[in-house]
Amino acid sequence: MTHKFHPTVLREYDIRGIIGETLDVEDARAIGRGFATLLRRAGGKKVAVGYDGRVSSPILEDALVEGLTGSGVDVLRVGMGPTPMLYYAAASADDVDGGIQITGSHNPANYNGFKLVFQGRPFFGDDILELGRLAETGDWLHGNGTSERREILDEYIDRLLEGLAGVDRDWLSTLRIAWDAGNGATGPSLEKLTALLPGEHHLLFTEVDGRFPNHHPDPTEEKNLADLKAIVAEKKLDFGLAFDGDGDRIGAIDGEGRVIWGDQLLMIYAEDVLRDLPGATIIADVKASRALFERVEELGGKPLMWKTGHSLIKSKMKETQAPLAGEMSGHVFFAHQYYGYDDALYAAIRLIAASARLGKSVTELRGAMPALVNTPELRFQVDESRKFAVVEEVRERLKASGADVDATDGVRVSTADGWWLLRASNTQDVLVARAESSDQAGLDRLLAEIDAQLAQSGLERGEQAGH
């Protein structure tokens, strides 16, 4: 038996497609067969499997488990929950050699996909392409693996709470926080977590509903934070937290309703971590503010700019032994007192802990940050077959012109006005741009540079693409 995946499904750092169009149960079964084959050949035997709250997730899970057991690995089924709960199962259980979460993450309701962990490391790039090669040739091992279900939510919540060790409970009892699950997979986890926390907690949209009836669960888009801002303002809360569809990305606002973007959260976390680990390396992706890298240096840390993508960041953390990393998209990775994977619920706990240890409210911490003018992520449609070529064309032109270009991931160009970035998304048929300056006039000049480069490659920035 062989199988051929749709050409858009096997991506750089995960597997993703549109249900009924580019992704179905046969793909899930083939992923199970291939992953199990690779794991057995590497000496592994057991895989943890979880899934998010999307309508299509349970049927994909059944097919995935069928594929895994059919190629001879045993499966620990942890059920519906956030992706970091699955990561926790894979990292904390002695007998588990890998993990797969079925999730469409922050994408529209008709998408779904798979995030994979292989013997404690991210499974991405050539690993994912190898699944395609195994499927095309039918080079799968055969066997009869077992399947068991295990409830780990309570254990996972207890582990999250360890992030508050040493924080004064009387101080915690004064906190008033809003939490927005966005009808994603974090809802039940947040209900259990906040029930065990001192203080006053206001929860929004914790009912899991894969159609996302209230707002899209992507906290990097400010329009999705409207409900959170409203409740923080109405009840005069200290701050608010929001989560993406599968709970591996965090969003936050302070008590004045100001968004605390991913790089700004990292500035807070870095200050806390560097007090404990002076001189440590702190990693951020190429979309992060120059202010973050400067702040890490100021705090005595070693800033490292790296490629966007949760698997790429996690791999770089292992290589450099960095205790902390983060992305503009709200992925935050703590190896300091945790496992090194992206967990938005743990990041929420660590924000509370950092505020306590630094002796400042979240609003004070946000207010102390430099006032810069920047764009959100600007995403715009480009043909899948063209997106990487456009970035390469821009890079070559800029190099020839003598511009100050960092080519870590796409092109990040520094000028007297600030910096701008253009890179190809690894998960969608879009180019991503971002720019930052000290004032609006400088930002306008940077955007004009982006437009000029795109025009030379026959494109317009035009309207932003959706997710």
The vertex-77 CA angle with 179 and 346, nearest 5°, equals 30
Instruction: Look at phi and psi of residue 194 and say left if phi exceeds 0, alpha if psi is from -120 to 50, else beta.
Output: alpha
Residues 6 or more apart in contact with residue 356 via CB below 8 angstroms = 167, 168, 171, 172
Catalytic one of 71, 105, 189, 425: 105
| DSSP per position, 254-321 | ETTS-EE-HHHHHHHHHHHHHHHSTT-EEEEETTS-HHHHHHHHHTT-EEEEE-SSHHHHHHHHHHHT
Give catalytic status of residue 105 as yes or no: yes
Q: How far apart are CA 259 and CA 225, in angstroms?
A: 9
Q: How far apart are CA 455 and CA 450, in angstroms?
A: 9
Exposure letters 216-237 (e unless 16+ CB within 10 A, then b): bbbbbbeebbebbbebbeeeeb
210-213 CB contacts, 8 Å cutoff, 24+ apart? 210/52, 210/53, 210/54, 210/55, 210/56, 210/57, 210/109, 210/183, 211/55, 211/109, 211/183, 212/109, 212/182, 212/183, 212/184, 212/245, 213/183
| DSSP per position, 342-357 | B-HHHHHHHHHHHHHH
378: enclosing H helix or E strand:
strand 378-381
Determine the 3-state secondary structure of 153 from DSSP: helix
Q: How far apart are CA 35 and CA 73, in angstroms?
A: 9
Of 208, 250, 251, the C-alpha closest to 229 is 251
Residues 6 or more apart in contact with residue 165 via CB below 8 angstroms = none
* Residues involved in catalysis: 105
